[in-house]
Amino acid sequence: MPGAALCCYNHNGGAMRFTALAAKGLEEVVAGELRGLGLLPGPVGPGAVGFQGSLVQAYRAVVHLRTARRLLLDFGDFPAADGRAYYEGVRALPWEEFLTKRHTFAVEASVRDSFTGHSGYAALRAKDAVADRCRQALGARPDVDREGPAVRVCVRLAEGRCSVGLDLAGRPLHKRGYRVRPSPAALNETLAAGLLLLLEYDGERPFCDPFCGSGTLAVEAALIASRTAPGLVGGRAFALERWPGFDRRAWERVLDEAREARRAPPCPVWASDKDPGAVRAAAANAAAAGAGAAVSTACRDALRTAPPGDGGLLASNLPYGDHAGVGENLGALYAGFGDALKRRWAGWKAGLLCGEPSLAKRIGLRPARRVPLWNGPAEVRLLVFDLYEGSRRR
């Protein structure tokens, strides 16, 4: 039986180990958020940031983190050189501390440089191991519920080891619940928030997205400006509320603290697009997020849009022909927008997410920074421009 380094649920409020999963390129942003919550992040690895804390601190993290994809309670870590060692390692964990005959569970797996390259197989074997352990310990197998399980198990196989975590939220944290009018080219909410934090946006200056699409960047900007914790949006429930040892009183205190921290945004948040349907979607999504009064929407051509104030932040996910911008002359669009930035937006900072390097060059301005990020499977670049009178063209 392989040994497993356990970090079991601590009913006495002691320190436990957690892992915040992040999109590639946002690990340091997540670490900064943890520091802002009074937590000391451990070593930052690819797509993951570990930390230790109490259960109440974990409650606070799951409510406040803007850029983490998931927040996991570390439950086990062991060698998994082959399928048998993997199955036995998962089965050795004390699942009966979290699962009863009445609880449901689901397993998600990711694999990299492991004995199997098939995440579906890894999830199935882990599910069998959990069920077999519970049958032995409880006399019955708990049911599987892929949509809304009480315990969502996240298994990560990499380089001969297996890490097992339990998802405190139960579903990815980017699913805020406000995207009632989605768009096929919309940014992931956590990536949008990460982009804003990389641009040092704190809501104390005007914000504008002239290619707003369904409005994700503008909504996330409004949430930052109003100091609204993402966990307060959409009235969502969290899996941890069904865990054994859940402290309802401490959880309500965390939520009350978050509600008391909210404020009216001190500066305007503007979202515009030349597509009337996109503008309607942005307005609907802002309203669903409780930010309808904070986000001003308009139907405008980005090349003719004037700044809605002085010295703000412009941030946009530019179309690059994948979903958005198909059929457009994107080279001319990028060149025209670069000219518009130079002529109209002096005094502003611009952060443009670009997925095609040849198009990015058509902007014609020299970026102060280039930040590599990942939008799902696609590598993109955040180009940061400090705009001022007389900006040099390439």
For residue 296, give the nearest of 273, 275, 327 by alpha carbon: 273
Give the chain's end-to-end CA distance (angstroms, integer). 63
CATH code of the domain containing 298: 3.40.50.150
| 117-152 pLDDT, tens digit each | 899 999 999 999 999 999 999 999 899 998 889 999
Give a yes or no: residue 248 inside a domain.
Answer: no
Specify if 197 maps to a domain: yes
> Per the domain annotation, does 142 fall within a domain?
yes
pTM, whole model, 2 decimals?
0.92
Same-domain pairing of 219 and 355: yes
Residue 292 in 3-state DSSP? coil
Cα angle value 35/29/62 (rounded, 5°): 65
Q: Which of 291, 285, 283, 287 is nearest to 265 (CA)?
A: 291
Please, are residues 20 and 49 in contact by the beta-carbon 8 Å criterion? yes
pLDDT value, residue 52: 94
Per-residue confidence (pLDDT) for residue 322, from 0 to 100: 53
Predicted confidence at residue 274, as pLDDT, reads 95
- Separation of alpha carbons 19 and 8, rounded Å: 14
Same domain, 209 and 313: yes
The answer to whether residues 72 and 108 touch, using CB atoms and an 8 Å cutoff, is: no
According to the model, what pLDDT value does residue 235 have? 85
At 327, phi and psi to the nearest 5?
A: 90, -10
Q: Tell me: do 204 and 104 sit in the same domain.
A: no
State whether 21 and 146 are in the same domain.
yes
Give residue 336's identity as a one-letter amino acid code.
G
d(CA 37, CA 33): 6
Contact in structure between 78 and 162 (CB atoms under 8 Å): yes
Structure tokens at 390: 């007389």
Whole-angstrom CA distances from 57 to 40, 103, 254 are: 11, 25, 9
Residues 61 and 106 in one domain: yes
Structure confidence at residue 323 (pLDDT): 46
- Say if residue 289 is in the same domain as residue 346: yes
**What per-residue confidence (pLDDT) applies to 321?**
65
| pLDDT of 244 | 86
Looking at the fold, whether 112 and 36 belong to one and the same domain comes out as yes
Give the phi and the psi of residue 163 in degrees, each rounded to 5: -115, 135
Same domain for 106 and 63, yes or no, is yes
Write down the number of H helices and E strands in the chain. 10, 15
Please return the burial class of 101, using the count of CB atoms within 10 Å of its CB with bins 0-12, 13-18 and 19+. exposed
Q: Is 8 among the domain residues?
A: no
The closest alpha carbon to 316, from 390, 214, 176, 204, belongs to: 214
Q: Quickly count: other Cβ atoms within 10 Å of residue 137's Cβ.
A: 13
pLDDT at position 239 is 94
Asked whether the beta carbons of 99 and 134 are under 8 A apart, the reply is yes
Judge whether 163 lies within some domain: yes
> How many domains are there within the chain?
2
**Encoded tokens for 148:** 């809304």
Same domain, 270 and 300: yes
Q: Specify which residues 354 forms β-bridges with.
A: 381
- Residue type for 134, please? C
**What pLDDT does residue 377 have?**
83
Which residue numbers in the chain have pLDDT < 70? 1-14, 321-328, 389-394
| 98 and 217, same domain (yes or no) | no
The pLDDT score that the predictor gives to residue 8 is 45
Residue 48 and residue 69: Cα distance in Å, rounded? 10
CATH classification of the domain holding 77: 3.30.2130.30
Looking at residue 14, what is its pLDDT?
Answer: 66
- At residue 221, what are phi and psi to the nearest 5 degrees? -65, -40
Task: For residue 176, tell me if it sits in a domain.
Answer: no
The domain in which residue 125 lies consists of 16-167
